[in-house]
Chains A and B, each alone.
Chain A
Amino acid sequence: MSIKAKLLLSALSEMLLIVIFSSFLVISSSQISNITANQTKASNIVQSISDAHFLTFEGLLYHSQLYIDQLQPENNNLDALIASYPASSTDEKAILRDIREQQNSLELIFPKLYASYSPQQTNQGDTAETPSETTLADQLISTQQTEISEALKLTNLKNHEELTLRQRTSSLAVMIIVLMFCITAINFIFVFASISRALRILQKGAHAIVRGKLDYRIKYKRANDEFGVLAATFNHMAASVEQLDTVKSEFVLLVSHQLRTPATAVKGFIALIRDHYSDNLSDKQRELIAGAYEENERQIKLINEILVVAQFETGEMTVNKRPYDLLRVVKSVVAEQQMMIESRGQQVNIVESTVLPEIAIDPDKIRIVIENLVHNASKFSPQDTQIGIRLRATNELVQVEVSDQGQGLGHTEMQRLFKKFSHSSNPGTLRAEGAGLGLYLAKRIVDLHHGKLSVSSVIGEGTTFTVQLPRNNHKIK
């Protein structure tokens, strides 16, 4: 599955969770609002009941008053009627008086009834009440209280439901948040781990290429995801680089060969004249021919250096080690450079401090190292000085020191000494003639032998280069 798909899936699952969470919240809130509506209804009911009672009282009061108000003129009329009756109509008068008494009792009951129902007056009710009135009032109050308490119960019940629902909602919300966090974390870890693993694989490949292992190819199993595509592209790129490198290497080899062959022919022609056809030449002509030969030699040396460096760069330089006597290499190099050294009035002093064992080296390559060190020692030393070569062996290594009595090297100069195209900037020394590759090459060759090339110098006294080569194959630190 591609990284994009993984991330998409992760985002979708998050979105799904958010949707679930949101709908849950919507449902919960609608439930809560339902409960709230019920509560409102309940409180409305309580209010209605209370209102109803109040109206009842009001009505009662109103009607009582009305009744009393209506009763009063009737009573007056009744009194007038009784008074107007002749004394003879006793029976009628008796009936009328009876009615008048009933009226009076009603007149008395209504205010009491009102007082018993009126909330303001209930506590003052020390007035004598008839049992029927009290019972009626109690019944009414009791009904009212029952209804109110039922309404309150309903409200409480709804309150409790709301609380439970709120608790359930919040605990579920916490659970969902924890779940979302866990899923996010797992997703993150999973995606991050796969990205990190892929990056490590790519990084390893890139390092290999940087180190010059151009044949390195990335092995990435998931060919279809973005990293798989990247790995394939990387491998394609590495293949192109390898191909280009091969082309470059072949080109360098071809060019070096093409350059070296005519240079070698020039050397041959000049040597032929010098060695076989110089009998009739003037001294001046001989001198010019010697100059041409020397320049040609320099040219060949430069081409050789470029070639060897190119071989190093393309990884074609290999060392073919075999047991060899280092002193033999040194003596051969000195013999070859004897003429140049003597022409400067310099002397070479070879000292063996110990008996030298044979060690496993590539003599052709080590020769390049010693050649460069001896050549530099002579080049950077004044006339009539000594070049010291000291050889010694320990149980672990064989060491050659080449020292001159030149101007010495400064700290900065020593630091860039083994870098490519590094030239001496010391005043008073001869302008460097080479490509500035000699010491770079020497160091690379010694490194290939697991050895160490180091330098020490004292300004005004001279410089010493030390080559240490291991007797076993252990790297010298």
Chain B
Amino acid sequence: MAKILLVEDYLSLQQIYRETLELEGYSVSTAVNAEEALELAKNTTFDIILLDLLLQQSLGLTFLEAFDVKKHPKTQIIIISNMFTNAALNKALELGAKHYLMKSEITPKELAAAVRETLAEMSKKNRQDEV
């Protein structure tokens, strides 16, 4: 079962995405700020981290900087946001985020589909690496 960390401070959205992802059969942990997320990431290796770029308490970029993607090669970061500047997005991509999704543009089901595709890409890449 793929492990997903959902970092989202807007609780309604957190509930919706969590429920959808769980319905799709993923194990979902949630955090509302960078500190909580970093704490969870310390003990668990997540396959995917869904990260809100503009969190109220601490910016997603703070998490990305502290998390250090290079030290977690098995984890993929997907930015989910409703509001980001180009500079913030470019910085996030620089810091190792792979994809970004506008929350207002997608349904929860489409988010789950994006997660599924990313996982498929990852396993394909892993198999290639093994071969």
Q: Measuring CB to CB, which residues of chain A are less than 8 angstroms from any residue of chain B? A: 253, 256-257, 260-265, 267-269, 271-272, 275-276, 300, 303-304, 316, 318, 320
For residue B57, give the distance in angstroms from its CB to the closest CB of chain A. Answer: 15
Whether B2 sits at the interface, judged by CB under 8 Å, is no
Asked whether any CB of chain A lies closer than 8 Å to the CB of B107, the reply is yes
- B43 / chain A contacts, CB cutoff of 8 Å: none
**Complex CA distance for A167 and B61, rounded to whole angstroms:** 93
**Contact partners of A265 in chain B: CB under 8 A:** 10, 12-13, 16
Q: How far is the CB of A101 from chain B (nearest CB, A)?
A: 151
Is B23 among interface residues, defined by CB-CB distance under 8 A?
yes
Q: Which residue of A lies closest to B84 (CB)?
A: A257
**Is the beta-carbon distance between A257 and B82 smaller than 8 angstroms?**
yes
Q: Give 18 pairs: A residue, B residue, CB < 8 Å, sorted on A.
A: A257-B82, A260-B104, A261-B13, A263-B104, A264-B104, A265-B13, A265-B16, A268-B108, A269-B16, A271-B107, A272-B19, A272-B20, A272-B108, A275-B107, A276-B19, A316-B85, A318-B86, A320-B86
Instruction: Specify the chain B residue showing the minimal Cβ separation from A270.
Output: B107
Within 8 A of A (CB), among B64-103: 82-83, 85-86, 103
A257 pairs with B109, CB closer than 8 A: no
A267 and B104 in contact, given A260-B82, A272-B20, A320-B86 (Cβ under 8 angstroms): yes
* Beta-carbon contact of A276 and B23 below 8 Å: yes
Q: Which of B16, B23, B82, B86 lies at the interface centre, i.e. has the most chain A CB atoms within 10 A of its CB?
A: B82
CB closest chain-A residue, reference B83: A257
List residues of chain A with CB within 8 A of the CB of B103.
261, 264
Task: Tell me whether B17 is interfacial, beta carbon within 8 Å.
Answer: yes
Q: Check if A256 sits within 8 Å of B83, measured CB to CB.
A: yes
| Contact-size category for B | 10 to 19
Binding site for A on B (CB under 8 A): 10, 12-13, 16-17, 19-20, 23, 54, 82-83, 85-86, 103-104, 107-109
Known A256-B83, A271-B109: A300·B104 in contact at CB below 8 Å: yes
Alpha-carbon distance between A265 and B82 when the two chains are bound, in angstroms: 11
- Give the one of A264, A268, A271, A303 with max B CB within 10 A: A268
Docked CA distance A262–B11 (Å): 10
Q: Are B83 and A271 in contact (CB under 8 A)?
A: no
User: Closest approach, in angstroms, between the C-beta of A107 and any C-beta of chain B?
Assistant: 144
Q: Return the chain B residue nearest A271 by Cβ.
A: B107
B60 to chain A, nearest CB (A): 14
A268-B17 in contact (CB<8A) = yes
Whole-angstrom CA separation of A378 from B88 in the bound complex: 36
Smallest CB separation, B106 vs chain A (Å): 9
Q: Which residues of B contact A276 (CB under 8 A)?
A: 19-20, 23, 109
Cα A260 to Cα B106 with chains together (Å): 13
Measured CB to CB, the closest approach of chain B to A305, in angstroms, equals 12
Q: How many Å from the CB of A58 to the closest CB on chain B?
A: 124
Instruction: Enumerate chain B residues within 8 angstroms of A257, measured Cβ to Cβ.
Output: 54, 82-83
4 pairs of A and B residues whose beta carbons are closest in the complex: A268-B16, A271-B107, A265-B12, A257-B83
